[in-house]
Structure 1
Amino acid sequence: MGWKVTHGVSLLQGEILVKTRSHRTAGGQVIAQLYLPMARSHLWQQLTDYPRWVSYFPDMVCSQIRPAPVELDPRIQHLYQVARKQFLCFAVQVEIYLTVREQTDQAGEQQIWFTMEQGDFLDFAAQLTLQDWQGGTLLTYRVQATPTIPVPTLLLQQAMQFELPANLRVMRQVLCGRSLNFR
């Protein structure tokens, strides 16, 4: 990714870096990075508390762990999430069932992989990565999705460009407390 090298000062000052691009013919992909001035181990405990995600993402109204089918791997969980969003004169609600896999690699980097089982998307996948960096943690969040309703790709990318940073600012405030001095 290389952002943390070229934009390190911006990240440390609280900026959220975002890149968007198209995904498939009617979808979008976004990659965002932010710095959290907290230990990775503390953040990991909070981020893997999936019902708490309703406090991180203002439009998410439900995030529940579902009973697993016979699951032998404790690093895998199953989630049900619902989000509601108001766009000008109409409201949209989306539901998604996810398989969630948690892993830590040899370098200590921790990742959470979200894969759609079923839901209101043609496809959906996300990855959240935590890395130790500058006395805190660098969070990288990658999402790619194709909605079932036809939305112009440019409009979808613009929504991702503006919505994800706003959501990640809320996430950072909840995780770190409101006393942060980022702009």
Structure 2
Amino acid sequence: MLTLTNETAALMQGEIVLNTRSHSAWGGAVTAKMYLPIALPSVWQQVTDYPRWVQYFPDVTRSEVRQVLAQKGIKRIYQAASKAFLIFTAQVDITLQVLETQNQRIQFFLESGSFSDFNADLQLQPYGEGTILTYSVQATPTIPVPSFLIEQAIRLDLPTNLRQMRSVLCAGR
């Protein structure tokens, strides 16, 4: 259980708490946290509905489960996204292996796509009547973009995306 810290107080006030860091010469990494005023089982049910991720993240144009390897506990998902940067638009796609730990964690591992490396980790922790969601991602696109630009884009986009995710997740309550 989390103790009441400045970070926890900020989360309880609806803030998205971000920590960005460098990851390779052309990549970026970030950890973001947010509080959801809904119980963990409901959050879990919704975040593991991968086709729904197009509602959570506006730049994601497609999200689908391609295969379920039940004996290994692994799913393969495909996602496509389109992102406008200054004067150009980047189209990316990615196939991920997804490992779920019921009501606790979702790990995403790169299988193929528009990144030379990609890993993400979504963790859920009960807190009071709700849930704290922690999302960590590190990625290096195949197109060389300086890491400071990637970090800046993440710093600007991720809070907006997580607010959208919270809005969609909480809409049914």
The answer to whether TM tops 0.5 is yes
The reply to whether residue 176 of structure 1 matches residue 163 of structure 2 is no
Aligned CA distance change for structure 1 residues 71 and 151 (closer, same or farther; 3 Å) = same
Rounded Cα–Cα distance in structure 2 between residues aligned with 1:129 and 1:79:
18
Rounded Cα–Cα distance in structure 2 between residues aligned with 1:35 and 1:3:
14
Over 3 Å off, 4+ runs: none
Name which of 130, 135, 142 aligns with 1:148: 142
Q: Report how many aligned residue pairs link the two structures.
A: 172
Summarize deviations over 1:96-141 as a string: whole Å, max 9, x none.
000000014xxxx600000010100010000000000122100000
Deviation of the 1:25 alpha carbon: 2.2
The reply to whether residue 20 of structure 1 matches residue 20 of structure 2 is yes
SS in 2 for 1:115: strand
Contact 2:80 2:94 in 1 (8 A): yes
Residue 50 of structure 1 is matched in structure 2 by 50
Summarize deviations over 1:42-91 as a string: whole Å, max 9, x none.
010001010010000000000011024x6522x31100000001112211
Deviation of the 1:3 alpha carbon: 9.3
Structure 2 regions of 5+ residues with no counterpart?
A: none
Deviation of the 1:163 alpha carbon: 0.7
Identity score, percent: 51
Aligned CA distance change for structure 1 residues 77 and 29 (closer, same or farther; 3 Å) = same
Aligned CA distance change for structure 1 residues 176 and 116 (closer, same or farther; 3 Å) = same
Rounded Cα–Cα distance in structure 2 between residues aligned with 1:178 and 1:154:
38
Contact 2:25 2:146 in 1 (8 A): no
Rounded Cα–Cα distance in structure 2 between residues aligned with 1:4 and 1:177:
27
TM-score normalised to the size of structure 1? 0.88
The alignment yields a C-alpha RMSD, in angstroms, of 1.8
Rounded Cα–Cα distance in structure 2 between residues aligned with 1:3 and 1:164:
25
Rounded Cα–Cα distance in structure 1 between residues aligned with 2:40 and 2:70:
27
Structure 1 regions of 5+ residues with no counterpart?
A: none
Rounded Cα–Cα distance in structure 2 between residues aligned with 1:170 and 1:138:
16
Contact 1:4 1:11 in 2 (8 A): no
SS in 1 for 2:38: coil
Rounded Cα–Cα distance in structure 1 between residues aligned with 2:34 and 2:169:
12
Contact 1:84 1:94 in 2 (8 A): yes
The residue type equivalent to 1:157 in the other structure is: E
Alignment of 1:1-183 (within 5 A): 5-68=5-68, 72-73=71-72, 75-104=73-102, 110-177=104-171
